[in-house]
Amino acid sequence: MRVKAYHRLMNQPTFTPLALITGGNRGLGLQTARELVKQGVQVILGCRDLDKGNAVARELREQGHQAEALRLDVADFRTHREACDELEKRHGRLDILVNNAGIWKESTTASSHQPGVNRTSTLPMEILRETFETNFFGTVALTQTLLPLLRKSPAGRIVNVSSIMGSLTLHSDPTSSIYEHKVFAYDASKTALNAFTIHLAHELRDTGIKVNSAHPGWVKTEMGGEGATLDVSEGGKTSAWLAMLPADGPTGGYFHLGQPLPW
């Protein structure tokens, strides 16, 4: 959805959509913010280090955009309520939530993982738990906390940044591009996140809120590594598209660059 669509919904020509992006001060989160501000969206960069977030927000403001930072650690549930209270105090609502923050613990970066090496049977439980704490439990908990603010939006959008690595269909297909890439904790956390997308979208199907999963691609970020195939400039496009869906856009889907992915 472009901003003018929000204007029609609100019947207020000065209305500016408000987006919170977790992990928004770097990598894919920052690139998503850059995509959204170009469309007139006001962005809030959720970040663990507020000083770093404020520096990035200041840079975006100097470029003529509306941006601010907010302390938020997805894995620290105590910060969820604090962030929600601060959002309500500052703005009274939230239009877009991009659940971008995530971790990869099974190798130094995605690029350093060796295809064909499957360590599922020996994966330390602490890695599995830590991965799920951020990629799944923290994301679900934050979304639940912020949902009352999203319900105040004329066109709420929730984007769960998943991965093609969460696709059980592709993981079980010997001909697929990810068949030899088995990284159990990360993959399973994204599969679980996709299940959250489907279930929450079903619950909210009669509201104005749309919920979708995004596969950004294999992007040259701190997590993706230098061996990734996409430049970071491409990494925010899918999330930004889903954040701005029109009223007749999809919900409960799994997409990459506008194309559906198999669950």
> What one-letter code names the amino acid at 119?
R
Strand ranges in the chain using DSSP code E only, listed in sequence order: 18-22, 42-47, 67-71, 96-99, 157-161, 210-214, 253-256, 259-260
SS3 149: helix
Q: Which residues sit opposite 114 in a β-bridge?
A: none
Does residue 186 have an active-site annotation?
Answer: yes
Pick the catalytic residue: 6, 179, 186, 254? Answer: 186
Question: Do 16 and 66 form a contact (C-beta atoms < 8 A)?
Answer: yes
Residue 177 and residue 194: Cα distance in Å, rounded? 19
Residue 12 and residue 205: Cα distance in Å, rounded? 25
Catalytic residues: 186
